[in-house]
């Protein structure tokens, strides 16, 4: 059992970056760096590759990555991870889900996930906070409107019961939610840098063109999203207080 001062955060890896971006490392590395976690305070489990999840009771918290997979495909590894998350959440473990992780968290807790009727959302977009964000441990310190990086086709169509929707964008009414007082999901990517986002836009250029969108213009409009990135660091600090680590 780890002591309170060295308990690890688990990063659950649910997918890989697009091939052109893999030279920058894998999602857990992007998230760990953005969250300000030292290497010895983070462990990674690749559930998509079949790796087993650990006993959650010694963990300080969990972060769940994005993925190119779809929650609605109900892959065995995904459903097993949802079951693990449900048990861990019932035990009070702090969790922060990103994109696929956000949707998987909603699915695990009884929400509904599906394709966004508004279509693909991609690039740097503004999100607006709902009133429930005013007293939130993570979101109360960000502006009422701030920029985020997004790339997704599916979304949380119906948030879980006991969840408070915290933010929305023009194309997505559930950009962020909090479940009870220890779990958050965000549809956007707080770990993405400008280079990450532009790399994804370039990788999706053919799909964007078919949808009538200009990837060059979208890439030019990408800008830093420091308020979004700050949410990861606040989660790490807040989770440590919740677990006494």
> Which CATH number do you get for residue 48?
3.40.50.880
Q: Find tokens 């109900």 and name the residue.
A: 74
Catalytic residue from among 99, 130, 152, 196: 99
Strands 61-64 and 112-115: unpaired
Of residues 191, 196, 238, 245, which has the active-site annotation? Answer: 191
Report the distance separating Cα 3 and Cα 150, nearest Å.
Answer: 37
For residue 158, the enclosing domain spans 9-243
pLDDT score of 238 more than 90: yes
Q: By the 8 A CB rule, do 196 and 189 touch?
A: yes
pLDDT band for position 3 (cuts 50, 70, 90):
very low
Residue of 102, 130, 152, 189 marked catalytic: 189
**Cβ-proximal residues to 231 (8 Å cutoff; 6+ apart), any chain:** 138, 139, 142, 184, 186, 190
Give yes or no: 189 in active site: yes
Q: Flag whether 75 is in a domain.
A: yes
C-alpha Rg value of the chain to the nearest Å: 17
> Is residue 89 included in any domain, yes or no?
yes
pLDDT (mean) for 229-243: 93
Query: Which two three-digit tokens encode residue 20?
Result: 């052109």
Q: What pairing do the DSSP bridges indicate for beta strands 154-158 and 163-168?
A: unpaired
Q: Is 191 known to be catalytic?
A: yes
- Does 2 reside within a domain? no
Predicted model pTM: 0.95
Tens digit of pLDDT for each residue in 173-219? 999 999 999 999 999 999 999 999 999 999 999 999 999 999 999 99
Tell me whether residue 134 is in a domain: yes
Query: Is residue 4 a part of any domain in this protein?
Result: no
- Domains in the chain, number: 1
Could you tell me if residue 64 is inside a domain? Answer: yes
């Amino acid at each position: 059992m780890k002591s309170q001062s060295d308990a690890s955060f688990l990063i659950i890896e649910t997918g890989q970056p697009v091939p052109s971006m893999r030279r920058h490392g894998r999602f857990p590395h992007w998230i760990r760096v953005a969250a300000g976690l030292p290497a010895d305070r983070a462990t990674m489990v690749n559930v998509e590759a079949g790796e087993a999840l650990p006993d959650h009771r010694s963990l300080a918290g969990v972060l769940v990555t994005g993925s190119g997979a779809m929650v609605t495909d109900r892959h065995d590894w995904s459903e097993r991870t949802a079951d693990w998350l449900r048990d861990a959440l019932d035990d009070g473990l702090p969790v922060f889900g990103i994109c696929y992780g956000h949707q998987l968290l909603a699915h695990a807790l009884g929400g509904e996930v599906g394709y966004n009727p508004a279509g693909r959302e991609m690039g740097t977009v503004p999100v607006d906070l709902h009133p429930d964000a005013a007293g939130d441990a993570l979101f109360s310190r960000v502006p009422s409107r701030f920029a985020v990086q997004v790339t997704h086709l599916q979304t949380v169509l119906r948030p879980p019961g006991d969840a408070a929707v915290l933010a929305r964008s023009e194309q997505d009414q559930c950009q962020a939610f909090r479940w009870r007082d220890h779990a958050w999901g965000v549809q956007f990517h707080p770990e993405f840098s400008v280079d990450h986002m532009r790399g994804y836009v370039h990788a999706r250029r053919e799909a964007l063109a078919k949808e009538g969108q200009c990837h060059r213009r979208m890439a030019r409009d990408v800008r830093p999203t420091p308020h979004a990135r700050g949410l990861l660091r606040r989660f790490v600090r807040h989770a440590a207080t919740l677990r006494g680590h």
